[in-house]
Amino acid sequence: MTGRARLLCAGLLVCVCLLLAAAAWATETLTVNEAFTPDKLGAPTNLSVAAQFSSSTGAPPSPIAKLTLYAPAGLGVDARGTGTCDETTLRLRGPQACPATSRVGFGGGVGLIELPKEVIREPFTIDFFFAPREHGHLTLLAYASAIAPVAVEITVIAKEVPAPAPYGLGFSVEIPPISTLPGATLASVESAFASFGSPNVAYYETVHGKRRLVHLKGVVVPKTCPRGGFPTEGTIDFADGSTLTVNPTIPCPHG
Amino acid sequence: MRLTALRKPTRLTSLRTRLASGDPPLLRTRLCAFPLAFLLALGLCCAPAWGIASSTTATITPTLLPDRLGAEGALQLVIRYSTDESAVPLPVRSTVLRFPIGLGVEIPHLRSCSPTRLRNHGPSACPTQSLLGHGHATAEAHVGSEIVSEGIDLTLFVGPFHNLQPTFEILGQGYSPFDERVVLSGTVRPDNPPYGEDLVLSIPPIATLPLEPDASIVSMSLTVGTAKPRHPITVNTIIVPPNCPLGGFPFAAEFTYADGSTGSALASALCP
> What is the predicted ipTM?
0.78
From CA A172, how far away is CA B100, in angstroms rounded? 63
Tell me which of A227 and B61 has the higher pLDDT: A227
**pLDDT score recorded for residue A17:** 41
Contact B210 A46 (CB under 8 A): yes
Selecting from A46, A103, A200 the residue whose C-beta is nearest the C-beta of B179 gives A200
Tell me which of B229 and B81 has the higher pLDDT: B81
**pLDDT score recorded for residue A103:** 92
Contact A193 B177 (CB under 8 A): no
From CA B169, how far away is CA A173, in angstroms rounded? 49
From CA A13, how far away is CA A69, in angstroms rounded? 5
In order of A14, A87, B2, B241, the CA distances from A69 in angstroms are: 7, 21, 62, 66
In a domain, A253, yes or no: no
In a domain, A175, yes or no: yes
**pLDDT score recorded for residue B4:** 34
Range(s) of the domain holding residue A178: 3-248
* Mean pLDDT value across residues A179-187: 84
Selecting from A37, A200, A202 the residue whose C-beta is nearest the C-beta of B210 gives A37
In a domain, A55, yes or no: yes
In a domain, B268, yes or no: no
Contact B178 A195 (CB under 8 A): no
A206-216 per-residue burial string, b: 16 or more CB within 10 A, e: under 16: eeeeeeeeebb
In a domain, B145, yes or no: yes
* Mean pLDDT value across residues A151-156: 94
Report the number of distinct structural domains present in chain B: 1
B145 contacts in A (CB within 8 Å)?
94-95, 125-127, 143, 145
Report the number of distinct structural domains present in chain A: 1
Q: Is B259 helix (H, G, I), strand (E, B) or coil?
A: coil
Is the pTM of the predicted complex or chain greater than 0.95? Answer: no
Taking CA–CA distances from B174, the nearest residue in chain A reads: A202
Range(s) of the domain holding residue B18: 3-261
Tell me, what amino acid is at B60?
A: I
Q: How confident is the model at residue B188 (pLDDT cuts 50, 70, 90)?
A: confident
Indicate if the pLDDT at residue B30 is higher than 60: no
In a domain, A71, yes or no: yes
In a domain, B131, yes or no: yes
From CA B90, how far away is CA B215, in angstroms rounded? 9
* Mean pLDDT value across residues B250-264: 87
Q: From the centroid of its chain, how far is CA A4?
A: 17
**pLDDT score recorded for residue B34:** 44
Question: Average model confidence (pLDDT) for chain B?
Answer: 78
Torsion angle (degrees, nearest 10) of CA B232, B233, B235, B241:
140
**pLDDT score recorded for residue B26:** 36
Tell me which of B14 and A161 has the higher pLDDT: A161
**pLDDT score recorded for residue A55:** 67
Indicate if the pLDDT at residue B108 is higher than 80: yes
Question: Average model confidence (pLDDT) for chain A?
Answer: 84
* Pair type for strands A46-54 and A29-37: antiparallel
In a domain, B85, yes or no: yes
